[in-house]
Amino acid sequence: MPAVAVIGAQFGDEGKGKIVDYIAWKYNIAAVVRFNGGSGAGHEVVIDNRKFSFHQLPSGVFMGKKLYIGEGCVVDPELLFKEEIDRLNTENIKPDLHISDNAKVVFDFLREIDAAEENFRNSHTSKQVGSTKRGIGPTYGFDVARFGLRMYDLVDEEKLRRKLPALIRLCQGYLKSLGSNYLIDVAKTVEKYLEFGKKMKPFVKDVRREVNDIHNNGRVLFEGAQGTFLDQIFGTYPYVTSSRTIADGVYGGTGLRIDKAMGERIGVFKAYTSRVGAGPFITRMDDGMQKIVRDKGDEFGRSTGRPRAIGWPNLVELKYANERNSFTGLAMTRLDTFAGVDPIKVCVKYRDEHGNETDEVAADVERYEKNKPVYVELKGWGELEKDGWARIAERGYEALPKEAKSYVKFVEDYVKVPVKIISVGADRKSTIETARLNI
């Protein structure tokens, strides 16, 4: 059956978790599959007014869906248990989790390297990436260099004992060259991860085959982590994550056969923009305006607690995201959070350093960040009384304030992709569908 991919169209934190949860519930999705990233991601789901933050687990835990972590992902066994599985177990929830034997293992010392790399960048280039320090970059890096360990190594005592000491030796030297004094205890680390290998074993398997099999008879949802502008190749390099965040990562990150139908590629974007970590952010609001939206929307990183920078809507970037992902539909989130802001400044092009108009998203980030935004002002929509948005969601699209509908239409006309889902609150019910998904 046609599958659906849910992809971040901005800098991550677009509200993908909520959209995934909604689609999984509404469309009888059989399996939710992650294809990229690791514990740096933060997806939040609100069930019965209880907030759950997930980092590595795909959304859909509460619906008893089959959950898959594909080979494009890095998995940190220590944080997976500590932050997610153990908490769910205390609530008597046992996720139906399956992890690719080919996914990459994040070790504690790779987190140390992540932090040491940031310090090194700070001292030698004065430009940090703003990484989540969860070992994502170093794990992918050592994997590409063919020194990393995969899940099949972690769950096999002989392999772990043979391969892990070599990686540690290499990493110890690397830590030193980064200026870090951190010492890795080889024996203790091997023993620690042997224990995690035992705990992980029941989850580890050939996810490639299972996902392709499920796709034959059921609906599969591929859940992206981070967003298009954090893609390792097409994002604002080097201020990016180390995995493929865009739609083509679905195939490379799960082993889904390329002739398998994808019914929808849904690009999720917030009514405004936000960014956490370093890197260009052309439509950044002034501090006062940022604070208003940040406080109202609780815009703080789920994995790191860092305040997110807040910006005006940027349609130049949304158009670029569509060019990289070929979205079949968009999902706009946080329409309710943006209420009360008037006028809304919408970026429709840039003025480059020579004063010329452009809509190019330059690969060279130093050139890209010199662009100045050119805005069109649209009328904002007002605040509603308590439960106002939930009541609108019940009545559907036509019930939205007319200014909000004009904004939606403006985005659709610019990007030339229909907005199929509009989210006006954190829970499932606060969702408006303007068109049925083709899945």
Which residues are tagged catalytic?
A: 13, 43
Q: Kindly indicate which of the ranges 84-92, 151-159, 235-243, 419-427 contains the residues binding ligand IMP, using the contact rule CB under 6 A.
A: 235-243
| 307 is a contact residue toward ligand IMP (CB under 6 A) | no
Are 367 and 360 in contact by the 8 Å Cβ rule? The answer is no
Burial 255-271 (b: 16+ CB within 10 A, else e): bbeeebebebbbbbbbb
By DSSP bridging, strand 104-105 and strand 262-270 are unpaired
* Alpha helix (H) residue ranges in 238-280: 249-252
Interaction residues for ligand IMP, span 1-40 (CB under 6 A)? 11-13, 40
CB closer to ligand IMP out of 230 and 335: 230
Beta-carbon count within 10 A of 27 CB: 16
Select from 344, 433, 423, 333 the least CA-distant residue to 382: 344
Question: CB nearest ligand IMP: which residue?
Answer: 277
CB closer to ligand IMP out of 101 and 299: 299
In Å, how far are 104, 347, 351, 413 from 228, measured between CA atoms?
22, 18, 22, 21
CB closer to ligand IMP out of 215 and 302: 302
String of contacts with ligand IMP for each residue 277-296, x by CB under 6 A? x-------------------
Are 175 and 107 in contact by the 8 Å Cβ rule? The answer is no
In the numeric block, the tokens 């971040």 are attached to 8
| Residue 346 CB, nearest approach to ligand IMP (Å) | 22
| Residue of 136, 315, 332, 339 interacting with ligand IMP (CB under 6 A) | 136
Q: Kindly indicate which of the ranges 23-31, 98-106, 187-195, 238-246 contains the residues binding ligand IMP, using the contact rule CB under 6 A.
A: 238-246
Beta-carbon count within 10 A of 174 CB: 17
CB closer to ligand IMP out of 134 and 420: 134
CB closer to ligand IMP out of 127 and 402: 127
In the numeric block, the tokens 């948005």 are attached to 389
| 134 is a contact residue toward ligand IMP (CB under 6 A) | yes
| Residue of 59, 131, 245, 371 interacting with ligand IMP (CB under 6 A) | 131
| Residue 37 CB, nearest approach to ligand IMP (Å) | 7
Interaction residues for ligand IMP, span 194-233 (CB under 6 A)? 225-226, 230
In angstroms, rounded to a whole number, what is the distance separating the alpha carbons of residues 163 and 155? 12
DSSP lists the bridge partners of residue 75 as 105
Omega within 30 of 0 (cis) for the link into 238:
yes
| 249 is a contact residue toward ligand IMP (CB under 6 A) | no
In angstroms, rounded to a whole number, what is the distance separating the alpha carbons of residues 297 and 289? 12
> How long is the chain?
439
In angstroms, rounded to a whole number, what is the distance separating the alpha carbons of residues 109 and 148? 12
Q: Kindly indicate which of the ranges 20-28, 181-189, 236-244, 393-401 contains the residues binding ligand IMP, using the contact rule CB under 6 A.
A: 236-244
| Residue 111 CB, nearest approach to ligand IMP (Å) | 10
| Residue 12 CB, nearest approach to ligand IMP (Å) | 3
CB closer to ligand IMP out of 111 and 215: 111
Local structure of residue 49 (DSSP, 8 states): T
Residue 178: phi, psi to the nearest 5?
Answer: -85, -5
| 129 is a contact residue toward ligand IMP (CB under 6 A) | yes
| 41 is a contact residue toward ligand IMP (CB under 6 A) | yes
Are 243 and 136 in contact by the 8 Å Cβ rule? The answer is yes
| 137 is a contact residue toward ligand IMP (CB under 6 A) | yes
Are 22 and 239 in contact by the 8 Å Cβ rule? The answer is no
| 241 is a contact residue toward ligand IMP (CB under 6 A) | yes
| Residue of 36, 59, 132, 245 interacting with ligand IMP (CB under 6 A) | 132
Residues that bind ligand IMP (CB under 6 A): 11-13, 40-42, 129-132, 134, 136-137, 225-226, 230, 239, 241-242, 276-277
